[in-house]
Amino acid sequence: MVNPGMAQPRQEIWYHTGYPGGVVGPGSGVSALTGPTKMPAVFEAIWRNRLIDPEKIHTDSPALKKKSPPAAPPIDLESLREVHTDRYLKALFTGEPRCLATSQGLPTWNENIARGWLLNVGGLYAASKAALYKKTITGNLGHGYHHATVNRGMGFCTINGLVVVAQKIIREAKAKRVMILDLDHHEGNGTAESIIGESSIWNVSIYGSYMGGPPSAGNNHVFQIRHDAFEQGTKRDAHYLAVISEILPSLIRLQNPDLVLYQAGMDPFDGAGISNEALAIRDAYVFSLCRSMGKPVTWVLAGGYADMETLVELHLGTVRKANEVLMKVKAGDRIKHRERKPYSWFPQNGAICFPDWKSLIKETLHWNEPPSMSNSQIQEFVALRDQLHREEQLPKDEIASAYRRLFSIKP
Ligand SMILES: [Zn+2]
């Protein structure tokens, strides 16, 4: 709840009505259509519940009747080419070959869907810049698309917006180091494949379900939680939160990122039986930890396949916790773990008190950390990725005209 006696939250979010690309689909279940369908639902729920002032919602939506700042433009071609191959991008822009344009799993391709991907990443870039400049928390009501890899889509993910934006921000010298923090139930394999060897970007993926990505490397930190070690309920929740709070602070201290891009996945709910209370306090913890360490955060919607009403409420938990943390936590606050109730947190004398989840479960933590790649393996990996870019390179005019044509076609 927003306390009217306190300063209003300063969270800004981005949402363009073109993000879903006109795709509508089932309101629940693991489907390529669930993701696009939930974006407008979450946007409307934020607006309907007045969780964020219209002046802080960057959108083209007529629902806000010109009270809002404009949505962001689509991401530029050069930033896309830094991460994805030309052959793949041309397929996304033109729909041909169709099997490549739909390699993420969507049943169809059209120009609206293609424009939606680019608008989505454009919004993430704008939100990230705002977080950096204002040293705050911002959100993009699009997806991170962490399974998308260098030359094809996967798992409903088309363009790896997290990596495109992290690289662009580094290239433009807006930040020296960016952390991609991925707490989706599924491993961020596409992110890992795209960033290994690029020391300024770290991928931290704490997941339940392995998706075939590479092992840990200097800048890739992957951890698989063994949810099945505990029965569903408070103990499994506490274990999940204990693992995150055990791993995350030291990695943030070690990398010292200027910006955290947070893939706030909600599918531990339906994928691992983690409760909505646990996911809400997870986000309160992530935002509090980053804010107390002076790290700006931009969050994105990520996986979640419960029924739409439940799903929207889960994502609203992220919005609410970002608001609360902006009001309650400031840089320099200490994070303490001493509260006994598993889902309770509060500020107290310059500290933010969270539960001591580890002592609540009274057992060792269950997670697998795969072996790290050696330096020569990393070099080989990077060389193969560079080779892929060269092999799939197209004349600049050819890819540029495909990009331009996409935006000259009226929806
Ligand atoms: Zn997922």
171 — alpha (psi -120 to 50), left (phi > 0) or beta? Answer: alpha
Which residue spans within 90-242 are E strands per DSSP?
Answer: 137-143, 178-182, 201-207, 220-225
What does the pLDDT read at residue 2? 42
Residue 234: phi and psi, rounded to 5, are -60, -35
Q: Provide the H-helix boundaries in 294-374.
A: 308-328, 357-361
Distance 186 CA to ligand 1 centre (A): 4
pTM: 0.95
For residue 304, count CB atoms less than 10 angstroms from its CB and return exposed for 0-12, middle for 13-18, buried for 19 or more.
buried
Q: Provide the H-helix boundaries in 329-374.
A: 357-361
Distance 24 CA to ligand 1 centre (A): 19
What does the pLDDT read at residue 22? 84
Dmax (CA) of the chain: 62
Dihedral angle at the C-alpha atoms of 110, 113, 96, 186, nearest 10 degrees?
-140
Q: What tokens were used for 236?
A: 């499994």
The residue extents of the domains of the chain are 12-408
Compute how many other C-beta atoms are within 10 angstroms of the C-beta atom of residue 23.
20
- Residue 231 contacts by C-beta under 8 Å, 6 or more apart in sequence? none
Q: Can you identify the CATH homologous superfamily of domain 12-408?
A: Histone deacetylase domain (3.40.800.20)
Residues in the chain, total: 411
Distance 172 CA to ligand 1 centre (A): 30
Distance 31 CA to ligand 1 centre (A): 11
Distance 214 CA to ligand 1 centre (A): 17
Q: Is the peptide bond before 97 cis (omega within 30 degrees of 0)?
A: yes
Mean pLDDT in runs of 10 for the chain (411 residues)?
49 96 74 80 94 94 88 97 98 97 94 96 98 97 95 95 98 98 97 97 97 93 96 96 97 98 96 97 98 98 89 96 96 91 92 95 87 94 98 97 84 41
